[in-house]
Amino acid sequence: MAILDRFSLRGRIALVTAGAGPQFGSSLSEGLAEAGATVITASRSLEANLEYAQKLQARGLDVHGMQLDICDSGSIRALHDSVIQRFGRLDILVNSALARNGHAGGLEDQTTDQCLRSAAGDFAGLFEICNVFLPNMVQHKKGAIINISSIYGVVSNDPGIYQGTSMKQPPTYNFVKAGMVNFTRYLACYYGKQGIRANCISPGGYFNHQPQAFLDRYCERVPVGRMLENEDIKGAVVFLASDASEYVNGHNLLVDGGWTCL
Ligand SMILES: NC(=O)c1ccc[n+]([C@@H]2O[C@H](COP(=O)([O-])OP(=O)(O)OC[C@H]3O[C@@H](n4cnc5c(N)ncnc54)[C@H](O)[C@@H]3O)[C@@H](O)[C@H]2O)c1
């Protein structure tokens, strides 16, 4: 098969949690749909996902909106049942939802309860959605799981870039995102022989109208000299979802402009 054909996702069914989100979510969904996949996006607001799907359908892409609360096991199971009933199977699962329960302030601002609530929402949700969809992937002996971690799952925040701003980084984020990277390796090792590959993407900072002082320092520090943009993430997710990466398993692909090289 020609190499570009191996990147094609035609005929594949993909689910992107928080796939209608204004930042990464929508870029991930668009990338997969542009590569030919049927894409289901799901988060708490069904309306927002249906509206987003309609926008992409108007461009000729096969995108569908559904509902999901990643902190609610009943909701995860209901989504599974709807996806399997409507599309018959799932080939690609992209975990991008971030509930941020209790994600506020720095270490000194968080109580143990907030920390536990945050971990429970984001880690338990990841654990559960993988657990619920894996049997279907195992049944048809093929699947790609892609977890969206962060540079802060690999290195610490650099406190210097936040100076003079009110931005605070909750340590639970680093805890959850680092756990995600090694949970991915666990999945890769335990399900690889059953045809399932699990990989992570760890993006760098995305432009989101942050204070100018932060933007200046971030762009000065990052080797490529700019923040991450929508198109930057598409190639990574299509590669890891497609047969072009058939022998890539348990990898953490840093899409960070070289941030973690320093
Ligand atoms: N923004 C960045 O600079 C950046 C950098 C690296 C990694 N990431 C990662 O990318 C992913 C998306 O980040 P973002 O910046 O777009 O985040 P965001 O906070 O803007 O969006 C979070 C998304 O999760 C959804 N969500 C929130 N609670 C949910 C719930 N209970 N159930 C289902 N969905 C829920 C929201 O609808 C939203 O689409 C996250 O996993 C984040 O850690 C972001």
- Beta carbon of 90 within 6 Å of any ligand 1 atom: no
- Beta carbon of 25 within 6 Å of any ligand 1 atom: yes
**Cα(7)–Cα(244) distance, rounded to whole angstroms?**
5
- Beta carbon of 97 within 6 Å of any ligand 1 atom: yes
Is residue 115 helix, strand or coil? Answer: helix
Give the residues of the chain that fall short of pLDDT 50: none
**Both structure tokens of 246:** 């058939």
**Which are the contacts of 106, defined by CB distance < 8 A and separation ≥ 6?**
168, 169, 170, 171
Amino acid 169: pLDDT: 86
- Beta carbon of 65 within 6 Å of any ligand 1 atom: no
- Which numbered atom of ligand 1 lies nearest the CA of 228? 3
- CATH homologous superfamily, domain 3-254: NAD(P)-binding Rossmann-like Domain (3.40.50.720)
- Beta carbon of 57 within 6 Å of any ligand 1 atom: no
Amino acid 205: pLDDT: 96
- Beta carbon of 56 within 6 Å of any ligand 1 atom: no
Cα–ligand 1 centroid distance for 99 (angstroms): 7
User: For ligand 1, atom 11, which residue shows the shortest CA distance?
Assistant: 96
Sheet holding 38-43, edge to edge: 63-67, 38-43, 13-17, 92-95, 143-148, 196-203, 252-255
Amino acid 100: pLDDT: 85
Task: List the one residue out of 67, 89, 87 whose CA is nearest residue 76.
Answer: 67
- Which numbered atom of ligand 1 lies nearest the CA of 177? 43
Amino acid 110: pLDDT: 86
